[in-house]
Amino acid sequence: MPSQRQATVVISPAEAGRRLDTWLAHRFTYRSRRQWQQSVRAGEIQLNGQPAKAAALVQPGDAVEYRLPEAAEPPVDVAMHTLYEDDTVLAVAKSGDLPCHPGGRYFGNTLWSVLRRQFDNVHLVNRLDRETSGVVLIAKEAAAASALMSQFAGQTVAKSYLALVYGAFPPQLDTDGVLVPDAASEVRKKRAFVADPDAAGEATRTIFTCLDSSAGLSLIRAVPATGRLHQIRATLCSLGFPLVGDKLYGPDDRIYLRCIADELTDADRTALRMGRQALHAYRLVFNHPADGRQIRVTAPLPADLQQTMATAGLQAGAELQC
């Protein structure tokens, strides 16, 4: 019998109330809802240690476990450094080439798996895209994870990102609208921002501030008031200021299709200007789950982002000071 890879994800309060198959398709977008239903029927998914049903409604604290056959994984950059640590909470800065959770082709080469080699209990409270660098918050016990997830669901956690975008960004934009599937794209998982808060879709709001502009690029700060999938990337793309290096939400999403087919051209790489999306989660402010103390962590700019900024003559100024 072939060996298996196992991973467990705990349902946050914001994710509760959905059907299991719907939650799986929304959380792990590399597979469709029908494909996840097939995995449930095949016994690859368990809910709280029991065989799962696709129609089950997930609740806060539920443990969703999935088991997949062993497979070769692409290499990643497991570089990370600790920003804050005590007995219950850990905050690290991850690289811009490291998935947070197991999914798709990645299992052992994930932040979750790396941390499991050091700690008995690992609960990733927030998650970043594989190509987004910066702060990830981890709880070392279930009670702390639940308390921190409630802060994220209640939008009391302050999150700040730095991003490099194409174009001369205006001094400030406060975007309030919804995210919907991008009907104009060939890529099923791509989303689009609609600047109409009353439209049908997932409500989203992000405040953008331009910090510097030079050589056809802008360095901006993004402060999301909501926590939607691809929120910053999709909003910037729809506004006409796509992220540097973003294969899906960049200037041409056909680059993404060539990338997954391993057919990127030299022209594609020149257009992207970076090997990964230029998005960095640089600051997180939260209340400690044990005593309510305010904790502020700041992740320094990674070398690849610094190099691209220096080439364009862009400076962050005092933005990264604690």
CA–CA separation, 171 vs 56, rounded Å?
A: 47
Task: Please report the pLDDT score of residue 2 as a whole number.
Answer: 39
Mean pLDDT of 134-143: 94
pLDDT, tens only, 104-119: 677 778 999 899 888 8
Confidence check: pLDDT of 3 > 50:
no
Task: Please report the pLDDT score of residue 68 as a whole number.
Answer: 64
Number of H helices, E strands in the chain: 8, 15
CA 224, 89, 84 angle in degrees (round to 5)?
75
pLDDT bracket for residue 219 (50, 70, 90): very high
| DSSP letters spanning 140-204 | SSHHHHHHHHHHHHTT-SEEEEEEEEES---SEEEEEEEEEE-TT-S-TT-EEEES-TTSSSEEE
Mean pLDDT of 242-250: 96
Which domains occur in the chain, in start order?
4-68 (3.10.290.10), 161-279 (3.30.2350.10)
Strand partners for 158: 285
Cβ-based neighbour number of residue 47 at 10 Å: 18
The region that residue 317 occupies, defined by phi over 0 for left and psi between -120 and 50 for alpha, beta otherwise, is: left
By CB atoms closer than 10 A (0-12, 13-18, 19+), residue 192 is: buried
Task: Please report the pLDDT score of residue 275 as a whole number.
Answer: 93
Confidence check: pLDDT of 1 > 80:
no
**Structure tokens belonging to residue 320:** 């990264």
pLDDT, tens only, 298-309: 999 999 999 999
Task: Please report the pLDDT score of residue 190 as a whole number.
Answer: 94
Sequence-ordered list of residues with C-beta below 8 angstroms from that of 65, at least 6 positions apart, any chain: 6, 7, 8, 9, 45, 46, 47, 49
pTM, 2 dp? 0.80
Confidence check: pLDDT of 4 > 60:
no
Confidence check: pLDDT of 165 > 90:
yes
